[in-house]
Structure 1
Amino acid sequence: MNAPSTPTHLLPEVHQRPVPPALIEALRARFGAQLSTAQAVREQHGRDESPFTNVPPPAAVVFAESTADVADTVRLAAQHEVPVIPFGVGSSLEGHLLAVQGGISLDVSRMNRVLAVNGEDLTVTVQPGVTRKQLNEAIKDLGLFFPIDPGADASLGGMAATRASGTNAVRYGTMRENVLALEVVTASGEVIRTGTRAKKSSAGYDLTRLFVGSEGTLGVITELSLRVYPLPEGISAAICSFPTIADAVQTTIETIQLGVPIARCELIDANTVKMVNAHSKLGLREAHLLLMEFHGSPSSVKEQAETVQAIAHENHGQDFEWASTPEERTRLWTARHNAYFAAVQSRPGCRAISTDTCVPISRLADCLLDSVAEADASGIPYFLVGHVGDGNFHFGYLIDPNSAEERAQAEALNHQLVRRALTLGGTCTGEHGVGLHKMDFLVEEAGAGTIEVMRTIKRALDPKNILNPGKIFQL
């Protein structure tokens, strides 16, 4: 296939702000080799996994190594009213890091130190460039782990900015529940702190929650204090195959409504299982399946598993297949996290238009099954995975990027899916975030009055509109 081209109607109406040579020179004087204007570096920082492919790259990239670097970058950019776009590892799916109004990409990946581990309090403090795998490697010998696990090995700063979650959210929650405190650089270059490591507080506005999920539009996160958890005494992973998606979904609904404290409950449809088998060299039964994990004491794990097995049998599920060793579990979950790459590899040269929604667990079957029927009827190849234990699932429509017809079909499927979720009391995005791709849906979900409150907050904290402008909503 030739180089992909995104129809301009998919992009919000924006303008590229000029970046004065004086700003580049000031940044070069301050940062030296930490500043790059090389085309390849700029292009790397001007694309992500979203469907948008024709946005110009940023004018320059600053590689921050400290909070002072971040503050100085923002302060210099503010003097010239030039946008600053925070960058972690570039794994976002909704266009969060694209320089739609031009500006400077602020790469915090070199800020990658674990600053403190307070095992007695079950907290850690890290810089924003630390990735989830790096953190878990650093604390595993202390018998601790951090449970939030989006598919990519994302940076923790980026995970907080997009309010990420992942496969463990059904038991451990999302970044919203697991970020205790932040250090943030504001739009003026001031460094502030929000929250403490205390388990609870009623002191003033909850600014930590304001910045978590703000997608870099209100401040640049430079430090995070996070909850961590003891490694469970017992862990068991099980695979259960079903003849229909409806059977798998009903098993999930009954498991959650019964109050089983399942740690992970992932749906993978038969088509995606085939893709995963080919990509990760597995031999999974090519049927609709639930990939589950149980945490606790050995006796509680056994009780949870027996309960869910009984529910599955009532819904035509097979006997559980167990992954009993850490190596087997790691292999399975790595394959699940690589489902996106397995799908893209299944149609060489394709582009995935990914979407996610989340609905109340009682409406999961209504939303998911109708969406599957629409995707099947369209004829567009797709993959389907879901953190169905918390009502969240993901479609990825695999399109020829040069086919306007396929792109239009995929976007129509996305629109139908999201509007169905909203009608059922759900949200337009469970964990991907709004970015560029779901701005219109946010208006439908939240309403014009709520969006105006968000705009008021944005104008108050970022009056020059320099922090990742053009994302979430238009000013």
Structure 2
Amino acid sequence: MNSPAAHANRRLIPPGFLEALAERFGSAFSVAEAVRAHHGRDESPYPAMLPDGVVHARSIGDIAWVAEHCHRHKVPLIPFGSGSSLEGHILAVQGGISLDLSGMDKILSVDIDDLTATVQPGVRRKQLNEHLRDTGLFFSVDPGADATLGGMAATRASGTNAVRYGTMRDNVMGLKVVAADGRIIQTGSRARKSSAGYDLTGLFVGSEGTLGIIAEVTVRLHPQPEAVSVATCNFPTLEDAVNSVIEIIQMGVPIARVEFMDTDAVKATNAYSKLELTESPLLLFEFHGSPEGVKEQAATVGEITADHGGTDFQWAEHPEDRTRLWTARHNAYFAGIQLRPGCRATTTDVCVPISQLANCVSETAKDLREASFPHTILGHVGDGNFHVMMLIDPDNPAEWAESERINRSLVERALTMGGTCTGEHGIGLHKMEFMAAEHGDEALDVMRGLKATMDPHNILNPGKTIPVANSVVSAA
């Protein structure tokens, strides 16, 4: 790909360093190009940026050994989970070692009475919920991709359930983290609240692997609802759909999930998932509670959506129908890619106060109507978060530049409205340029100070999240 970014300031690996890794880890270490290529690309539109080697960690001891040696020799170290990130989080922009944590996939404990689970970082969300299936509990954070919990904590993931159950910020109770120099840090506890010292758990959740490597995660669990109901509703315009959600939230209806898809996203989903949804702006609702409570929620939502032009309110009565609908929604990314075979998807997300959501979506749709490439809009509109997917030709730099202009306009609009440059994708490479505008130079200086204190050699996922020395990424 000729556009987004290439290696910048790639660091030299000291003589004998790779050999020392091979001696310590044996077959769990690789410099094979195919293995490095797998760890040098994610779902972002950036070209591959390969690490110099890959270590497959099997224990906290493995993580600590690699961190200590990378720290000593000033070698970049990039944590890797499932590779599903969208903003270039795991690309080795300065070379170094990719630390694959996916093999650390044990569920260490489940405490049913306290509603908690402790897992290794490579445990995937579907794996945890399958393990919990007979306990009456579930883990609520659902970003769509079957991501690892370590990666979800590192990026402060959100998803379809956030409107009721919160994001990873709300559901991570404690962590075990390996620092840049190999020290092992325990944060938080299984207690529901604490006033003891700084909130180190909150510091690491969302740090994108730049402050420490998450080696264990303790998460909050929730009781399975007694009754679940799913419905879809179509609207004549984007504004009608979003305004109905705003009123539903302001009325205090405790919906579990409410998702938005524009007409193009619905068309792509129908084609990819073999559905027959009405091809106009659509909301997908899920209600949790007692049977009577679910009926009351649905009745209120039905009245509000009708007032905003909502039609074709349809129910998914059976569990298999609900599963099929949510699977189709989660596959909307792959469905969108099929709108333009051979494309690369550049995706972006913002989050705004709920009162500003309709205006932000509407203005973004106007920008996209002038675009020269296919696109979709969808999102978790119950918490003001929505996503734009732009399908660009990987060999056309002009399309990349055009998509970046639209992304910049969207982010600036969201910030002006009191929002954020990203609700859940994270910063990675793609959104570092907006950090000063969102947080201010003083706050950014504090972040740089934390980074320098905790990672003085800038080895942990360098070139991501906040601009620091040796982290500039140049255009290809």
Q: TM-score, normalised by structure 1?
A: 0.97
Tell me the matched-pair count. Answer: 468
Is the aligned partner of 1:79 residue 2:72? yes
User: What CA distance in whole angstroms lies between the structure 1 residues aligned with 2:36 and 2:16?
Assistant: 19
Q: Deviations over 1:176-199 (max 9, x none)?
A: 000000000001101110000000
**Structure 1 residue matching 2:16: 3-state secondary structure:** helix
Task: Select which of 181, 187, 190 maps to 1:194.
Answer: 187
Is the aligned partner of 1:50 residue 2:47? no
The letter of the residue matching 1:192 is I
- Contact kept? 2:78, 2:92, Cα under 8 Å: yes
Is the aligned partner of 1:473 residue 2:469? no
Residue 2 of structure 2: aligned partner = 5
Residue 24 of structure 2: aligned partner = 30
Residue 398 of structure 1: aligned partner = 391
- Contact kept? 2:40, 2:90, Cα under 8 Å: yes
Q: Deviations over 1:34-82 (max 9, x none)?
A: 0011000000000011121153x00000000111111111111112110
**Structure 2 residue matching 1:140: 3-state secondary structure:** coil
- Contact kept? 1:6, 1:54, Cα under 8 Å: no
Is the aligned partner of 1:408 residue 2:401? yes
Residue 275 of structure 1: aligned partner = 268
User: What CA distance in whole angstroms lies between the structure 2 residues aligned with 1:321 and 1:204?
Assistant: 50
User: What CA distance in whole angstroms lies between the structure 2 residues aligned with 1:446 and 1:73?
Assistant: 33
Residue 221 of structure 1: aligned partner = 214
Q: Deviations over 1:69-127 (max 9, x none)?
A: 11111111112110100000000001110001110000000000100000110000000
The letter of the residue matching 1:118 is D
Q: Which has the higher contact order (CA 8 A, sep 6+)?
A: 2
Q: Which moved more, 1:20-29 or 1:309-318?
A: 20-29
User: What CA distance in whole angstroms lies between the structure 1 residues aligned with 2:190 and 2:230?
Assistant: 32
Name structure 1 gaps, 5 residues minimum.
none
User: What CA distance in whole angstroms lies between the structure 1 residues aligned with 2:66 and 2:309?
Assistant: 58
Q: Deviations over 1:131-163 (max 9, x none)?
A: 000000000111111110112100000000000
- How do residues 310-389 of structure 1 correspond to structure 2 at under 5 angstroms? 310-389=303-382
- How do residues 150-299 of structure 1 correspond to structure 2 at under 5 angstroms? 150-299=143-292
The letter of the residue matching 1:206 is D
Runs of 4+ in 1 over 4 A off after TM superposition: none
Residue 13 of structure 2: aligned partner = 19
Q: Deviations over 1:341-384 (max 9, x none)?
A: 00111210001110000000000011110000110122321011
Residue 448 of structure 1: aligned partner = 441
Task: Give the superposed CA RMSD.
Answer: 1.0
- Contact kept? 1:309, 1:319, Cα under 8 Å: no
Residue 135 of structure 1: aligned partner = 128
Residue 305 of structure 1: aligned partner = 298
User: What CA distance in whole angstroms lies between the structure 1 residues aligned with 2:208 and 2:4?
Assistant: 24
- How do residues 79-98 of structure 1 correspond to structure 2 at under 5 angstroms? 79-98=72-91
Give the fraction of aligned pairs with identical amino acids, expressed as a percent: 60
Name structure 2 gaps, 5 residues minimum.
469-476
The letter of the residue matching 1:124 is A
The letter of the residue matching 2:79 is P
User: What CA distance in whole angstroms lies between the structure 2 residues aligned with 1:54 and 1:143?
Assistant: 43
Residue 471 of structure 2: aligned partner = none
User: What CA distance in whole angstroms lies between the structure 2 residues aligned with 1:156 and 1:111?
Assistant: 11
What is the CA-CA distance between 1:283 and the residue it aligns to? 1.0
Residue 99 of structure 1: aligned partner = 92
Residue 138 of structure 2: aligned partner = 145
User: What CA distance in whole angstroms lies between the structure 1 residues aligned with 2:366 and 2:298?
Assistant: 31
**Structure 2 residue matching 1:274: 3-state secondary structure:** helix
**Structure 1 residue matching 2:40: 3-state secondary structure:** coil
- Contact kept? 2:372, 2:399, Cα under 8 Å: no
User: What CA distance in whole angstroms lies between the structure 2 residues aligned with 1:243 and 1:368?
Assistant: 15
- Contact kept? 1:27, 1:76, Cα under 8 Å: no
What is the CA-CA distance between 1:14 and the residue it aligns to? 3.2
- Contact kept? 2:105, 2:123, Cα under 8 Å: yes
**Structure 2 residue matching 1:29: 3-state secondary structure:** helix
Q: TM-score, normalised by structure 2?
A: 0.97
- Contact kept? 1:266, 1:386, Cα under 8 Å: yes
Residue 103 of structure 2: aligned partner = 110
- Contact kept? 2:266, 2:281, Cα under 8 Å: yes
**Structure 2 residue matching 1:283: 3-state secondary structure:** coil
**Structure 2 residue matching 1:141: 3-state secondary structure:** coil
Residue 412 of structure 2: aligned partner = 419
- Contact kept? 1:26, 1:76, Cα under 8 Å: no
Residue 109 to residue 313, structure 1, CA distance change in 2 (3 Å): same
What is the CA-CA distance between 1:25 and the residue it aligns to? 1.2
What is the CA-CA distance between 1:21 and the residue it aligns to? 3.5
User: What CA distance in whole angstroms lies between the structure 2 residues aligned with 1:410 and 1:461?
Assistant: 35
User: What CA distance in whole angstroms lies between the structure 1 residues aligned with 2:4 and 2:355?
Assistant: 37
The letter of the residue matching 1:44 is H
**Structure 1 residue matching 2:461: 3-state secondary structure:** coil
Task: Select which of 62, 65, 69 maps to 1:69.
Answer: 62
- Contact kept? 2:138, 2:221, Cα under 8 Å: yes
- Contact kept? 2:348, 2:407, Cα under 8 Å: yes
User: What CA distance in whole angstroms lies between the structure 2 residues aligned with 1:135 and 1:6?
Assistant: 38
- Contact kept? 1:260, 1:304, Cα under 8 Å: yes
User: What CA distance in whole angstroms lies between the structure 2 residues aligned with 1:420 and 1:271?
Assistant: 23
**Structure 2 residue matching 1:386: 3-state secondary structure:** strand
User: What CA distance in whole angstroms lies between the structure 2 residues aligned with 1:392 and 1:258?
Assistant: 19
User: What CA distance in whole angstroms lies between the structure 2 residues aligned with 1:21 and 1:318?
Assistant: 67
